[in-house]
Structure 1
Amino acid sequence: MIIAILSILVHILNIITIIYMIFKEKRSANSIISWALILTLLPYIGFILFLLIGRKIKKSDIFIMKKSKMEFFKTYTDQLDQMRISNDSIKNSSNYEIIRAIESMEYSPYRNNNEVELFFDGKELFNEILDSLRKAEKSINIQFYIFKDDEIGSQILKILKEKAKSGVEVRLLYDSVGSRSLTKKKLKSVIDAGVKTGEFFPAILKLVNLNMNFRNHRKIIVIDNKIGFVGGFNVGDEYLGKDPKFGYWRDTHIKFDGSAVKDLNLRFLSDWNYATKENIDLTSVLKDFKSNTIYDFNYSEPGIQIISSGPNPYNRYEIKWSYLEMIQKAKDYIYIQSPYLILDQSIADSLKLASISGVDIKIMIPGKGDHPFVYWANLVYAGELLNFGIEIYHYDKNAFLHSKTVVIDDRVCSIGTANMDTRSCELNFEVNALIYCKDIAKKQREQFEKDMLLSNRLTLKEYNNRSNYVKIKEGFSKLFSSLL
């Protein structure tokens, strides 16, 4: 009797949930259909899954900066806008439309006078990170989606403890789901050493997190408000190629210094303020912006815009729109690397239109998947693009491609944490660096071409000749691709 009543209640709740999704929530039709199928065919499991990964985020949980800080930023950005109005050098640049579009989306001002160093290998990157952390004098702000206490993680934590003991202000922010192994117990010695720690969207129970669908996927390091790191690498031994499951880990990260570092630091401090409720005085972070010797408004290279996005009540998906802006402004080529190719329809259509307009488009995805269904979902969207002349490459099957990059025309490239998928564009909290520099864009394009030598090109003939078994797996994966 009790079981029968519970069964009826679950079915009623599922029906109410479906109706609510249709009439009250701003979801894509694919998402509604996918969840309706799950809730209907698997009512009990589906209801639990919906609670964990299906709910839209509460508006109260969406990060909004304090009114005083917003007013401060508004005053400052108004000053920037006034100075740019008379700046002909930016207006006459080939990237002006992209720069202005992205500046109008969020707090993503164009900054020049930067120095940028690219990293495509984990060992080289982490050697640089460790060395830079050891040289910190005033502050270290470090944030990762995945932070493990394995060999490389322990090395970083050791340095953070040493620096905190020496008087450096150290903040460590990690995601509750991505860094689930980083427990308070394991962090006790770090906290005792004076390191401040914060957990983004912590779970009431470690294994049950009702916000697990909305993750802070950002990877940020800012040292002394002068040096910044951002890109695709997390902290873990597998990112150094030590996990036989993945093999060599191919990713892209940047280290940079200059005026754009402050914007990356503000991104970190915004997340930190939300997670810890620490009231931070931003005066010291922003003071250098007021100096014209530090921030020259003339258009010069390398220029950088730090752009971030995440769930919001207005459906403003800044990073997705930045991808669209780059695709639509490309004239010669578009090279994309992403471990996940689960495309929003607007991005898919823009790529198709660019390709039939004569733009050379090459997309590189992994030769193997790191999650169930993802590999087959990637193939669905890749196959659709092949019909429009877009070239698809599978990276070396003995390695794993995790790089999240877009480069166009040897003039602009995007390097950061956001994949080319719906989750990164609409659900996760992400951050990218848009770099306006011929030399950097050329290096990114040349690295893509090197990666092509290790890749297999997927031809339209090969895709059309795939087995029925593969087609079934693709169809099933596409059905639920909006949930991946």
Structure 2
Amino acid sequence: MSHCLEEIHEAQVVAAGKAQGRWLRRFGPFAGSAMAAALLTACASLPEPASRTPSQALADTAGTRLGRALAPGQAQHPGQSVFYPLSSGPDALVARLALARGAERSLDLQYYIFDGDLTGKTLLAAVVAAADRGVRVRLLLDDLHLSGQDRELAAIDAHPNIEVRLFNPFANRSARWLEFATDFRRLDRRMHNKSMTADNQLTVVGGRNIGDPYFSASTATDFSDFDVLAGGPVVPQVSAVFDDYWNGAASYPVASLMPAPADAQAEVQALRTYLDEHAAEARGSDYARELLDSGMAQALEGGKVPAYWGQGSVIADQAVKVTLPPEDNSSHAIPKLVHLLDSAQRELALVSPYFVPNATAVDWLAGMARRGVRVGILTNSFAATDVSAVHAGYAPTRKALLAAGIQLYELKPSAYAEMAHEGHRSLISKSRASLHAKSYMVDRHLLFVGSLNLDPRSARLNTEMGVVVDNAALCTQLGAALDERLLDVAYKVMLEPDPAGGEPKLVWVTRDNGLLRTYDSEPDMSVFQHFGQGLLRLLPLQEEL
């Protein structure tokens, strides 16, 4: 499974039979079943719900090390939560490692993708080490990207302090492609949430999956992403979302889906040995040195993590969303997010890698612009996106948005090269940039950070979550940083009048080496790719994007 795929985008790959395992390769690749065997097992069914035992986040954790560290600040800011932005990949990984190493009672992890690459194994090693210390670990993963990894999942689950559950899993573990073809309506609904919570005291929520592209450790694609580390009253809200999914009907214990290891103790020890070997090898890497030099690592070492205090809340889909018809929005997060965004009086800044507004959304944004709200949108350019079909769904809306007075920017694939002299880019990653952050800012004091894209798939099919931060200082800082370099890292899409009085045409304006440059055709798009985009726009994919 390519690191690049994210929304329906993956579903189409699986349906085409191209899905591959992405976890620990200790036991060799998935070999696949013969067609006859696949047909015989196509009718595999999921186990009865009685096989899952409910559990909840721990409530009495104020006396933990993390709880004691937060107590003085909470006493000074009663009822408020504390937030620390995680803009860089190394900072985001260091924060997660710090949670795993600081946990004393519990770790709850909920992820759409958890790769078995450099960063994935590094985090897994820290999680297993926490379990070895007696920390209760609950690991909830979407099953879409876990093809061929059952033995590894069973080994992790065999640890006495770790339980693994899979969300909306494939019943047929050996012929997933066939089940996808026969049960598409169910398997098309995925859990896109991303959170990691330690001791119900500190949490990381945002847009990052677990894998090298999300932490600036990849040499192929470097996802520009954003998370927040949070503490205070917002954390139990995140834990409540986790519990809803963990105990929901769509989450199945690994033990109910696959055979337990014949010798569980030996499998767990083999897992430890494998992760220890990885850790020893990784310590001497350039990326490990970059982690030690990261701003987050330095702040933690000096005990001076910058704190932004303010009201915090969670916006999340209910887990039951995947069992209800897509048109039933009673469990959806989107209406709550729209209500938040609609409160803008002066400025609305939207950052979404997959931005596919339907006609209603275009009219809504145009209405905001008409009432005087300055609306700015940053999404991926064609060359930066990892999903061509999404660009094909978005591109036809550009002229209507621009005609309504909305400012539209598209990230350049060379964005990190443009920022290198400012120290914003990983020294390790030599890859192209691709926007992956989902953050929405209202009047420079309200900020949503999470997994929710502004596209039909996030709205109707997948489950999503995020946190809302009310802090003007944080929003002003983030907004100013984006404004300062936006024209360097992105194309500003504009309408240019036709001198002959015809329809205005699109142009792309950017700044290269301090000089403005204008493109009168889509940058980095060949004639063949332009033709391909035209074909994609003819396909009935809108609701799947």
1:128 aligns with 2:104: no
Offset at residue 301 of structure 1 (A): 5.3
TM-score by length of 1: 0.68
Conserved 8 A contact 2:108-2:137: yes
1:455 aligns with 2:490: yes
Q: How many Å separate the matches in 1 of 2:484 and 2:452? A: 22
| Aligned match for 1:382, one of 392, 398, 408 | 398
Q: How many Å separate the matches in 1 of 2:385 and 2:467? A: 26
Cα RMSD after superposing both structures: 3.1
| Aligned match for 1:325, one of 323, 326, 339 | 339
| Aligned match for 2:316, one of 308, 315, 320 | 308
Offset at residue 440 of structure 1 (A): 2.5
Conserved 8 A contact 1:327-1:351: no
Say which SS state the counterpart of residue 400 (structure 2) adopts: helix
What do the CA deviations read for 1:243-262 (whole angstroms, capped 9, x no partner)? 3442x321110110001100
Which residue does 2:223 correspond to in 1? Answer: 249
Which residue does 2:285 correspond to in 1? Answer: none
The 1:385/1:180 distance shift into structure 2, 3 A limit, reads: farther
Which residue does 1:190 correspond to in 2? Answer: 156
Say which SS state the counterpart of residue 98 (structure 2) adopts: helix
Offset at residue 445 of structure 1 (A): 1.8
Which runs of 5 or more residues in structure 1 are unaligned?
1-60, 70-110, 279-299
The 1:474/1:349 distance shift into structure 2, 3 A limit, reads: farther
The 1:365/1:455 distance shift into structure 2, 3 A limit, reads: same
The 1:451/1:270 distance shift into structure 2, 3 A limit, reads: farther
Say which SS state the counterpart of residue 302 (structure 1) adopts: strand
Conserved 8 A contact 1:140-1:224: yes
The 1:419/1:478 distance shift into structure 2, 3 A limit, reads: farther
Question: Higher mean Cα deviation, 313-322 or 420-429?
Answer: 313-322
Q: How many Å separate the matches in 2 of 1:396 and 1:239? A: 17
| Aligned match for 2:133, one of 157, 166, 169 | 166
Which residue does 2:364 correspond to in 1? Answer: 350
The 1:316/1:445 distance shift into structure 2, 3 A limit, reads: farther
Which residue does 2:233 correspond to in 1? Answer: 259
User: For residue 237 of structure 2, what is the amino acid of its counterpart?
Assistant: D
Q: How many Å separate the matches in 2 of 1:318 and 1:192? A: 35
Which runs of 5 or more residues in structure 2 are unaligned?
1-47, 57-77, 255-307, 414-431, 497-504, 508-519
Q: How many residues align?
A: 359
Which residue does 1:482 correspond to in 2? Answer: 543
Provide the identity percentage: 22
The 1:272/1:113 distance shift into structure 2, 3 A limit, reads: same
| Aligned match for 1:421, one of 455, 462, 479 | 455
Q: How many Å separate the matches in 2 of 1:171 and 1:347? A: 37
The 1:345/1:162 distance shift into structure 2, 3 A limit, reads: same
Which residue does 2:207 correspond to in 1? Answer: 232
The 1:243/1:165 distance shift into structure 2, 3 A limit, reads: closer
TM-score by length of 2: 0.61
1:138 aligns with 2:105: yes
Q: How many Å separate the matches in 2 of 1:433 and 1:478? A: 36
User: For residue 349 of structure 1, what is the amino acid of its counterpart?
Assistant: D
User: For residue 467 of structure 2, what is the amino acid of its counterpart?
Assistant: A
Q: How many Å separate the matches in 2 of 1:401 and 1:362? A: 16
Say which SS state the counterpart of residue 459 (structure 1) adopts: strand
Offset at residue 395 of structure 1 (A): 1.0
What do the CA deviations read for 1:224-249 (whole angstroms, capped 9, x no partner)? 01011110000001112343442x32
Offset at residue 359 of structure 1 (A): 1.3
Runs of 4 or more, structure 1, over 4 Å off, are: 464-469
Offset at residue 447 of structure 1 (A): 3.8
Say which SS state the counterpart of residue 367 (structure 2) adopts: helix
Conserved 8 A contact 2:313-2:468: yes
Q: How many Å separate the matches in 2 of 1:228 and 1:218? A: 13
Offset at residue 451 of structure 1 (A): 5.0
Q: How many Å separate the matches in 1 of 2:391 and 2:399? A: 12
User: For residue 363 of structure 2, what is the amino acid of its counterpart?
Assistant: D
| Aligned match for 1:408, one of 437, 442, 448 | 442
1:473 aligns with 2:473: no
Say which SS state the counterpart of residue 426 (structure 1) adopts: helix
The 1:478/1:382 distance shift into structure 2, 3 A limit, reads: farther
